[in-house]
Amino acid sequence: MRMGTRDLLFVGLVLGGAATLASSLLPNVVPARAARRPANPAPAPADPTIVREVNRELRREWAEAGVSPVRRAPELALMRRLSLALTGTIPSLEEIRRFEARAEDRRLSLWIDDLLADRRFADYVAERLARVYVGTEEGPFIQFRRRRFVTWLSDQLANSRPYDAIVRDLIADRGLWTDHPGTNFITVAVEPEKPPNPEKIAARVARAFLGVRLDCAQCHDHPFGEWKQRDFQGLAAFFGQVHTGFSGVYDGQGEYEPTNRKSGKTEVAPPGVPFYTELLPEEGPRRMRLARWVTDPRNPNLARVTVNRVWALMFGKPLVEPVDDILSVGEPPPLLKMLAADFSAHGFDLRRLVRSIAATEAFQRDSASDNDVTESQEKTWAAFPLTRLRPEQVVGGVLQSASLGTIDRESNVLVRLGYTFGQQAFVQRYGDTGEDDFSDGCGTIPQRLLLMNGDLVKDKTKDGLVTAASRIATLAPTDQAAVELAYLTVLTRRPTPEEAAHFVPRLEGTKGKERQLRLCDIVWTLINATEFSWSH
């Protein structure tokens, strides 16, 4: 039967609607094969000099504390650790096979190359940084576009733009929040019928780029620190002339006029910086002067707070806590100062920083040893810290473990849509951590129940044509191989002899539907193992 004109029109509308929906939900979609490589994929190798210096300092601290480092982590554990930190998900079986097919002495460095060239890295890190810059809420209606901001930030990271240049745009850019998405850093502070709030912007600048909670001195001098109220007011004054209009963000007339709590009157606060005052340019628009001061390589704070945050991204906890108030602890630790000096001296290259941290002995230590890991070993980074996965990492792992192939921008559009919807629904129920990126909160009973009984896990571990469990049951040549593939797909490791001895007999003599159902049970069990929900 031939299809009529009305039928053809209907199909065209459906397909067009699906394409429109996909483009709105996945604004970063680019043509296949072009997606993984950034526009400027220049290599940024870890400098052996800075790695040697960091390792020398680590060994000095271990000797001083009288601790011995634990053994080096297995390669697959390092592979999983890097994937979770840099893309928010676990490696696929496809990626594990490619990893193990490479020369043993180059596997890890090539895997880091793969991750840093993968658009998932830019997308994931952009989202993590956006939480620091603009928070997690959608913000003021019309004048703020969080999704557009994250897309722009991802583009900057994918193109290997220096971090200091990104920061200058955030602080000083002008224009419409859609055409100049960096200005959303300013417009997130817009209040109804008012210009952007200078105090909110100043607080973000201080925490995100200086590593100090200067807003604690917003109403009075800090009771325990050296910060004075005038320090916060001076920083806020740089944003006293910023306005929004039909042309977007612009600098015009006006001053920041806080209320004097003693007199009750408003007073003009002059622009000023809390330290390194000699580095503040004397000429230029106020916001640009501040942006140049923040990013001046002689001002160590931007490099230090950034290194601390990238370290936390990769380890699950920062070198200095809290991550947005490193000046409160006094003199920064030598490790932080070394990496920060190297970061600023080499053009604020985030990829180079990631490579350097990944090459350190601290990052490559195991999280366990034959004896219990001591508090001193944890404190001195002689063992990799055990940290609970974030909600998007948990759901990323669940979704990837249901597929033998890699889920990324080269995947089918329906797969990507399913990933997006599944992630959003799961995180909403699991509970988002919000802006508190590195909290040590314990898992909750509802979170455990969601993994055990939630629709997403049930759907991804049921027997079906495309689920990993069913494909393993059909394709694995032996029971032993089937159990091994399940472990690799879910936990990125092979089973121990004891684990294999437990699961292999449960597949013995099975075939068809029964075999698929038993593999589904094994995959469900592995997803609900404590190991799955932790970085280690």
Of the listed ranges 150-154, 246-250, 260-264, 376-380, the one predicted with least confidence: 260-264
Q: What is the mean pLDDT of residues 63-92?
A: 96
- Report the distance separating Cα 409 and Cα 78, nearest Å: 23
| More confident call, 254 vs 21 | 254
Domain that holds residue 238: 120-295
| More confident call, 447 vs 201 | 201
HSE-CB at 364 with a 13 A cutoff on CA atoms is 15
Q: Determine the pLDDT at residue 217.
A: 52
| Cβ atoms within 10 Å of 414's Cβ, excluding its own | 10
Q: No. of H helices and E strands in the chain?
A: 24, 4
User: Is residue 336, in this structure, part of any structural domain at all?
Assistant: no
Q: Is pLDDT above 70 for 6?
A: no
- Report the distance separating Cα 255 and Cα 98, nearest Å: 59
Q: What is the mean pLDDT of residues 489-497?
A: 97
Note whether 468 and 506 are within 8 A (CB): no
Number of domains in the chain: 1
Q: What does the DSSP 8-state code read for residue 210? A: I
Q: Determine the pLDDT at residue 313.
A: 96
Q: Determine the pLDDT at residue 285.
A: 95
pTM of the model as a whole: 0.87
Q: Determine the pLDDT at residue 32.
A: 34
Beta bridge partners of 244: 249
Q: Determine the pLDDT at residue 15.
A: 44
User: Is residue 230, in this structure, part of any structural domain at all?
Assistant: yes
Q: What is the mean pLDDT of residues 428-436?
A: 63
Q: Is pLDDT above 80 for 369?
A: yes
Q: What is the mean pLDDT of residues 84-91?
A: 96
Of the listed ranges 125-134, 151-160, 441-450, the one predicted with least confidence: 441-450
Q: Determine the pLDDT at residue 437.
A: 61
Q: Determine the pLDDT at residue 181.
A: 96
Q: Determine the pLDDT at residue 137.
A: 87
User: Is residue 203, in this structure, part of any structural domain at all?
Assistant: yes
User: Is residue 240, in this structure, part of any structural domain at all?
Assistant: yes
The mean predicted confidence, pLDDT, of the chain is 85
Q: Determine the pLDDT at residue 141.
A: 77
User: Is residue 170, in this structure, part of any structural domain at all?
Assistant: yes
Q: Tokens 């005052």 identify what position?
A: 277
Beta bridge partners of 243: 250
- Report the distance separating Cα 65 and Cα 368, nearest Å: 19
Q: What is the mean pLDDT of residues 121-137?
A: 94
pLDDT in tens, 344-358: 999 999 999 999 999
User: Is residue 445, in this structure, part of any structural domain at all?
Assistant: no
Q: What is the mean pLDDT of residues 181-207?
A: 92
pLDDT in tens, 387-429: 999 888 998 999 899 999 998 888 777 777 777 766 666 666 6
Q: Is 238 left (phi over 0), alpha (psi -120 to 50) or beta?
A: alpha
Of the listed ranges 183-192, 323-332, 360-369, the one predicted with least confidence: 323-332
- Phi (first) and psi of residue 302, to 5 degrees: -60, -45
User: Is residue 407, in this structure, part of any structural domain at all?
Assistant: no
pLDDT in tens, 205-246: 999 999 998 766 555 555 555 667 788 888 999 999 999 999
**Six token digits for residue 64:** 């001083």
Beta bridge partners of 190: 196
Cα–Cα distance list, 264 to 60, 68, 246 (Å): 55, 60, 35
Q: Determine the pLDDT at residue 489.
A: 97
Cα–Cα distance list, 14 to 21, 89, 318, 421 (Å): 10, 32, 48, 19
Q: Give the strand pairing for 534-535 and 248-251.
A: unpaired
Q: Is pLDDT above 50 for 318?
A: yes
- Report the distance separating Cα 217 and Cα 229, nearest Å: 5
Amino acid (1-letter code) at residue 124: Y
Say what percent of the chain tops pLDDT 90: 65
| pLDDT tier, 39 (very low <50, low <70, confident <90, very high otherwise) | very low
Q: What is the mean pLDDT of residues 476-489?
A: 96
| pLDDT tier, 18 (very low <50, low <70, confident <90, very high otherwise) | very low
Q: What does the DSSP 8-state code read for residue 204? A: H
| pLDDT tier, 54 (very low <50, low <70, confident <90, very high otherwise) | very high
